[in-house]
Chain A
Amino acid sequence: EPEVTQTPSHQVTQMGQEVILRCVPISNHLYFYWYRQILGQKVEFLVSFYNNEISEKSEIFDDQFSVERPDGSNFTLKIRSTKLEDSAMYFCASRADGNTEAFFGQGTRLTVV
């Protein structure tokens, strides 16, 4: 069964460093998303991406964040200068055109120290 894969599963980084979280969405999906879940809290929408551009972003997704689809398979989330409060589980999701169901990856746990 096709699935969304995320790497790495766990990333530890020092405050102020740049991190790139990687996702491989399901191959025929056209809509891509990043969400985050701070420990013990709700899952929050960060950004959606379609047709090689951001279609919607939340107030969390400030200038420190960027997304890219560098090739036909990867979808990345970059945090330019990490802060302690960026520590969270980050989930990538993808969705097929005409389908309401989003498929989620296993998540990347980002720990900023």
Chain B
Amino acid sequence: GNSVTQMEGPVTLSEEAFLTINCTYTATGYPSLFWYVQYPGEGLQLLLKATKADDKGSNKGFEATYRKETTSFHLEKGSVQVSDSAVYFCALSRNTGKLIFGQGTTLQVKP
């Protein structure tokens, strides 16, 4: 079946450090891939998405590239800020629109 696996958290970084959160997926066909972010006490917000192989999604300095050969969609940011502290969810969707989420990775950025 379809599934998403994310790296275990929490990830603790200093401000301006480089961030990578790994995400790999298992799916039949060609899913769309997403990163959602959940700030403390808030709901889920779409951070970025990619709908086909080799697409790069980007938003607010975050990037992720849809790698079909490695079935991965790793999230990266060159310089994190304290305000980026949140839980990050990788997710996939097939043509039904149902989202399958990874377990989430907590990011803590310290000043």
Contact = CB atoms under 8 A, between A and B. Distances in A.
Given A42-B104, A101-B49, A107 B43 contact: yes
Given A104-B43, A104-B44, A45 B97 contact: no
B39 to A, nearest CB: 11
A5 B25 CA distance: 30
Contacts of B103: 41-42
Interface in B47-88: 49, 51
Given A42-B103, A42-B104, A43-B89, A56 B44 contact: no
The contact size tier of chain B is 20 to 34
Given A91-B44, A106-B42, A106-B43, A100 B96 contact: no
Given A100-B32, A100-B51, A101-B49, A43 B44 contact: yes
Interface residues of A, number: 22
Interface in A30-89: 31, 33, 35, 41-45, 48, 55-56
A101 B89 CA distance: 14
A28 B63 CA distance: 29
Contacts of B46: 101-103
Contacts, number: 53
Summarize A's interface: helix, strand, loop or mixed: strand
B20 interface: no
A105 interface: yes
Nearest to A107: B43
25 contacts: A31-B97, A41-B103, A42-B101, A42-B103, A42-B104, A43-B44, A43-B91, A43-B101, A43-B104, A45-B98, A45-B100, A48-B96, A56-B96, A91-B43, A93-B44, A93-B99, A95-B97, A100-B32, A100-B93, A100-B97, A101-B49, A102-B46, A102-B99, A103-B46, A104-B36
Closest A-B pairs by Cβ, 6 of them: A106-B43, A104-B44, A43-B101, A42-B103, A100-B32, A107-B43
